[in-house]
Each structure stands twice: as C-alpha cells, then as structure tokens.
Amino acid sequence: MAQLNFGGALENVVTREEFPLEKARAVLADETVAVIGYGVQGPGQALNQRENGIRVIVGQRPNSKSWDKAVRDGFVPGVDLFDIEEALQRGTIICYLLSDAAQIQLWPTVKKHLSPGKALYFSHGFGITYNDQTGIVPPEGVDVFLVAPKGSGTSLRRMFLQGRGLNSSYAIHQDATGRAFERVVALGIAIGSGYLFETTFKKEVYSDLTGERGTLMGAIQGIFAAQYAVLRERGHSPSEAFNETVEELTQSLMPLVAENGMDWMYANCSTTAQRGALDWWKKFRDATLPVFNELYDSVAAGKEAGRSIASNSQPDYREKLEVELKELRESEMWQAGQTVRNLRPENQPVEELV
C-alpha cells in the first residue's frame, strides 16, 4: 500500500504495479470465488476474474434469464455454474452481487453457508451499513470486505477488454482470518481495477448514493432538462437544443476533462467559453449546494435506503420502473437525442458517407 497526495490530502492506494496480477493469483490460488448473482456487476466481475486465471463459479437460479446468460458466457452447468445454494457451499469467497433488495431476501440462505474462514465480498456498502433495515449481520468467523468499481459492470468489462482498468474503492469491515487485506486487494486486481483506494463501508455507500442521485445521474438529468427547456421555450430547434445541452458535453468536452482535467478543458476552449464558464460556475455551485447537503443528510439518515428497499421490494416494481423510464425515453429531449445519435458518422451506412 502506498500513500499518494491528492491535492494536499494523503490517501492509501494500491496500484497494479505494487500488487501485480501474479501476486493476486498467488493469494487466490487455493480459493474458489463464488459469484452470487449474474445481473449488473456479476458478469463483468466473473468473466474478468476467470480470464485472469482465478477459479470462479457462478451461483444463479436455474432456468432464469441470468442463468442462460451465464451459459452463453461460457459457464458450464455442473462445472462452474450451479444453483445458488450449491455455489454457496462450494465457494470460499462469496461475491454477493445481487441487488440490494435481493440480498435482503437471500440473506438467511447465505448466512448459513458462511462457515469460519470464508470471506463475504460486496461491491456496495448498502447491506452492512443499513443493517438495521436489511438484517445483514455476518457471523464473526468470516472476513467481510468490499471492492466497489467506480462504474457499471458493463464499463468494467469493456475497459478490461481494452486492456484498461476501472478504478475501485476497497474496504474491510471484518478481518477474522488476518488475511482480509490481501484477499480484498487480490480480488480488486483480479476483477480489473485500475487502482484501489481505501474507504469504509459507510463512506462508500454514502458517496455512492449521493453520486447516483447527484452528478452521475439525478442532477445531470435535471440540469439537462432545465437547459433544454429554456432553449426550446426561447425558440431553438430540438436539434440545436440537444446538441448544445448534451451532445457537445458528452462527445467533445467530457473526454477532454477525462484526459487531463477541467482546467485543461477550459484552456482548450475558446476565450469566450472560458470567460463565461469562469463567470458562471460559482453561481451554479451556490445554487445547488443546499440541494446536495439535503441529499447527503437524507442518505446519512437512512431515508434513501428505506425508500429504495420499500420500492424495490414491491412485486410490481419492474412495471412501475418502466413507467418512469418511459417518461424519460419519450420526452422530446431524449427523442431528439436518439435522432442525433443515429446521425453520428459511425452510425451511418458507409455508402451514404462517400
């Protein structure tokens, strides 16, 4: 583990240089990693570990869509694909990658297979942090830790195939064996992390829920919708409003930020854009700061967890979700977005470009 300086703040991080894949393989040589759940995070983490030489099995309900997907991905029933309970029996490290609501439902089954010396692995601090609502309290004899990739399972897999790594946080909740650190870091490297930074279960879930509801998804959609509405109300066409609100940000400016930072992106824009951005960013910060404080307080109080558990546990959750997603999908802004995406050169037939 190394200490790196992040703008004056020291953090504990683990890089692939100091903990290479060969070391991860050695640490996990005698382990069987059972990936329970093959939905959002499961496929990417299971496939990356398998291709990195780790002994991985998948636990899933037979004859389900996820079971069929695992088969298409090369997992063989009876060899490295089992029903959930058999996978729990066979695994020495249980990667608990079901949705938060599903984790609550399956917990009694998982708990009875957590014999001393095993490890319970999460990619989210939700179940442990809000255990007063989830009931997830691991027995004392097992290691409990997490590796949380900072992106979707799809991104983790895509970047792995590109030879890149997706940064992840790691945390240790319980070290029963004295080997929790090397086990969690080895798993973090094996799933394809770029580097690993230290956190706690509570900080992981607080930052994650705030980020999802904030700049990553909720706030960005809200800001998109507001600017698009203003431009349309002032007479701009859907194409112009969408391009100035979404397309230029995602296709042009954000890649520059990802490459070298916000200051570098500013420096590589017109002087007019620079002046406007520098004049207005603090106004947007001041306008949204109270909302972010309200959001964080709601996360810390467990209100967001409670709402998530209550809504996701309803039998008609998927139907209600589809209604809300349909509202987004059929809005003029995202209908315009579909048209714009179809007009990108890479989506046009070759004969139309010559």
Write the secondary structure of the chain as one string of H (helix), E (strand) and C (coil): CEEEEECCEEEEEEECCCCCHHHHHHHCCCCCEEEECCCCCHHHHHHHHHHCCCCEEEECCCCCHHHHHHHHCCCCECCCEECHHHHHHHCCEEEECCCHHHHHHHHHHHHCCCCCCCEEEECCCHHHHCHHHHCCCCCCCCEEEEEEECCCHHHHHHHHHCCCCEEEEEEEEECCCCCHHHHHHHHHHHCCEEEEEECCHHHHHHHHHHHHHCCCCHHHHHHHHHHHHHHHHCCCCHHHHHHHHHHHHHHHHHHHHHHHCHHHHHHCCCHHHHHHHHHHHHHHHHHHHHHHHHHHHHHHCCHHHHHHHHHHCCCCHHHHHHHHHHHHHCCHHHHHHHHHHHCCHHHCCHHHCC
Backbone angles phi, psi at 266, to 5 degrees: -55, -45
- Told to judge if 124 belongs to the known catalytic residues of this protein, a careful annotator would answer yes
Q: Which of 113, 124, 173, 236 is catalytic?
A: 124
Residue type, 347: N
**Two tokens at 17?**
């240089």
Q: Answer positive or negative: Cα dihedral of 242, 243, 244, 245.
A: positive
Q: What does the alpha-carbon distance between residue 42 and residue 123 come to, in Å, rounded to a whole number?
A: 10
CB atoms within 10 A of CB 94: 24
Q: What does the alpha-carbon distance between residue 224 and residue 211 come to, in Å, rounded to a whole number?
A: 16
Q: Which residues are catalytic?
A: 124
